[in-house]
Amino acid sequence: MTGNGTITASPQAPDLRDQEREAQLAAALARCAAGDRTALRVIYDSEAPRMVGIARRILFRQDLAEEAVHDAFIRIWRGAAGFDPRRGSARGWLYAVVRNRALSIHRDEHRYEASDESAGDVDSETTLSRMPEASALRRCLEQIDRPRRDVVVLAYVHGMSHGELAGRLKVPLGTVKSWVRRSLFALQECMG
């Protein structure tokens, strides 16, 4: 969003595109559940790059991120019938599957090491700045003081555990747990 002239006209278009994409993904999941393999490819073409990005923020390595996406697509194929459009968006469901796989690989095989340089690049403020200005989540996160809001972003985006957060922010475990809890409550109050 750099051109001033387009700002007033633009909010509608991406919204409609998102709705369209969402409906296509929901339809594709229904087709997967019916055994249509071309539908899995439709989902892959549409969402795999974002899913690799999501997994990479947790696992830092491209090969591990692709492993998570690989596992996720096998689960999506086998579990497509478990997606219930009344409960939430298709996209949210797909991203939850890949985060789940990435977190599982992270827990089993790839804990943050002191020597892990890439973990140093983690920065919750950069993530926040990438969110659309109109995002209610962004607005509500910005109302929470740092570093209490950092724990939410670091845990969700980078898959950090309570222990990892405590180590990184150099505060006791109990403090981290209470920050997470209170920040999430504040978000719920703020967003409804």
Partner 1 sequence: MSPHDADNAMAADYVMGLLDGAEQAAAERRIETDQSFAQAVSAWRARLADLDLTAEETPPSPALWQRIADATKIAPIDALPSARAALRGTTLWDNIRFWRGLGIGGAFAAALFAMIMIGALATSRQLRHDMLALAQRKPIYVAVLVNDTTKEAGAIVNAFSNGRVELIPLRPIEVPAGRSLQVWTLWDRAIGPKSIAITGQSRTLQLDLESLPETVQDQLFEITLEPEGGSPIGRPTGPILFKGNAARAL
**Rule CB under 8 A: which of 128-157 touch partner 1?**
130-132, 135-138, 152-153, 155-157
Binding flag, residue 180, partner 1 (CB under 8 A): yes
Among 8, 16, 117, 170, binds partner 1 (CB under 8 A): 16
| Helix axes of 173-191 and 162-169: crossing angle, nearest 10 degrees | 110
Binding flag, residue 11, partner 1 (CB under 8 A): no
Binding flag, residue 110, partner 1 (CB under 8 A): no
Euclidean distance between CA atoms 180 and 170, whole angstroms: 15
Site for partner 1 in 69-108 (CB under 8 A): 69-70, 73-74, 77-78, 81, 85-89, 91-93, 95-96, 99-100, 103, 107
User: Which residue matches tokens 């403090």?
Assistant: 175
Pick 18 or 115: Cβ nearer partner 1: 18
Give me the phi and psi of 46, to 5 degrees please: -80, -40
Q: What is the dihedral of CA 110, 90, 125, 100, to 10 degrees?
A: -20
Among 59, 114, 121, 187, binds partner 1 (CB under 8 A): 187
| Helix axes of 12-33 and 90-109: crossing angle, nearest 10 degrees | 70
Pick 6 or 62: Cβ nearer partner 1: 62
Binding flag, residue 175, partner 1 (CB under 8 A): no
Task: Tell how far CA 99 is from the center of its chain.
Answer: 7
